[in-house]
Structure 1
């Protein structure tokens, strides 16, 4: 395990910032968070704090918050987010990986623009991803960069991936783990979170809770939707019509 624990110590004067009022972030500040498996998923609704935490880990590890690999020039010159500025990382072998910045941060929001910029540069991929679909470009990057021990952070990687491509991503996760690396992923995907023997943290109004895949709210929603989508649509469309008459 590269990263075993994260914690945060902030000044009392900063505790009223909106970011630190998010239940999951607030709990992290008070209790910290331990990683016990080589692959960890953060799951939760939009605004629950999962991407905020993954981004802060990336910053503390020395990866660009906009996405990219370790060791990029100017990364450490950019102002950190409030959480990234106070986050502390702990791990028995962490100092070695911090020194060499082995790892990669894939952020779906900014990934394609960054990937297009560095295509063909030394240390990256040779393919021109502008000639590919988003999904093909993502997989090209992942298959090129996810090949050695390191800390790999992903923020909603399924955004550009089909069902089959998500399955390919799972095989890459397994390769990273076998090499001695570690994966931390924020996701809405019931497919990715089904990865065997992974730790799953669900973020909601109650804070951060470790759950099993079967007990995830998103798994329950998808299961019920796929079983009977008409029930969801009947409720949603009738509600929309009522709102339209107001």
Structure 2
């Protein structure tokens, strides 16, 4: 079980009430632990994962299981596997894992008034569902997401459909965003956090990971562990490359 971490403001973040307090993997109920996704080291080693009341990040290499874990939490929380709000119920192609069946969510006394599961890889399908539903179009600000760039559509959805007192689960949102738009997303996240929202985010972006006082979990072959921002490879590799660009390029290209 991850231990409670002291925040920069003082006190323990674990004592603050939130929508989702923790996620527990019901290992004893799994019929075959050697089968995907339970064979992923970070999933197999999972016990109880404490979530930050504001922002929790999941980071790791491709294939480490962060998107699988985020998807499992989202489906267990009642969201459609391909994305959208809890009112969305469609399947372009069923591809979600069975992980959600073996996750128990510990909820706080508060209940979210709204929420959204936003994932980069299936956003096209969500945008199509929005445009095919007049009520959904209205609630999403009337934006035709297929008529703007992927990044503009992503950011417009956050700015028009993410409301106060919501639970928001994002899977690699930076995939569609330029660095400048990532900073705009960071600003939107901060404004929503100030309106009693909670975020769970899987990401590769050192810009998003810089959000202050967030909780960061690193998924790897060794399992899952909480880390500081400066301990992430995303921060250290980006910093070292920018400070020693010529040396890095010589090693890579020569």
User: Is the shorter-chain TM-score for this pair beyond 0.5, marking a shared fold?
Assistant: yes
- Equivalent residue in structure 2 for 1:113, among 112, 121, 125: 125
The reply to whether residue 146 of structure 1 matches residue 158 of structure 2 is no
- Aligned 8 A contact 1:37 1:199 in 2: no
- Larger relative helix fraction: 1
- 1:127 alignment partner, SS class: coil
Match of 1:243 in 2: none
Match of 1:48 in 2: 64
Q: Which has the larger displacement, 136-145 or 5-14?
A: 5-14
User: Any unmatched runs of 5+ in structure 2?
Assistant: 1-17
- 1:66 alignment partner, SS class: coil
How much does 1:17 deviate? Answer: 0.6
Query: Could you tell me how far apart the structure 2 residues matched to 1:195 and 1:12 are?
Result: 35
How much does 1:79 deviate? Answer: 8.5
- Taking the TM superposition and a 5 Å limit, the aligned residue runs for 1:203-222 are 203-222=219-238
User: Any unmatched runs of 5+ in structure 1?
Assistant: 239-246
- Taking the TM superposition and a 5 Å limit, the aligned residue runs for 1:7-26 are 7-10=24-27, 11=29, 13-26=31-44
How much does 1:207 deviate? Answer: 1.1
- 1:69 alignment partner, SS class: coil
User: How much is the aligned-residue C-alpha RMSD, in angstroms?
Assistant: 1.9
- 1:110 alignment partner, SS class: helix
Are residues 109 and 74 of structure 1, via their aligned partners in 2, closer, same or farther at CA, if it must alter by over 3 Å?
closer
- Equivalent residue in structure 1 for 2:212, among 184, 196, 199: 196
Query: Could you tell me how far apart the structure 2 residues matched to 1:16 and 1:27 are?
Result: 12
The reply to whether residue 3 of structure 1 matches residue 20 of structure 2 is yes
Q: Structure 2 length normalisation: TM-score?
A: 0.84
- 2:88 alignment partner, SS class: coil
Equivalences, count: 230
Query: Could you tell me how far apart the structure 1 residues matched to 2:90 and 2:61 are?
Result: 32
The reply to whether residue 226 of structure 1 matches residue 238 of structure 2 is no
How much does 1:178 deviate? Answer: 1.5
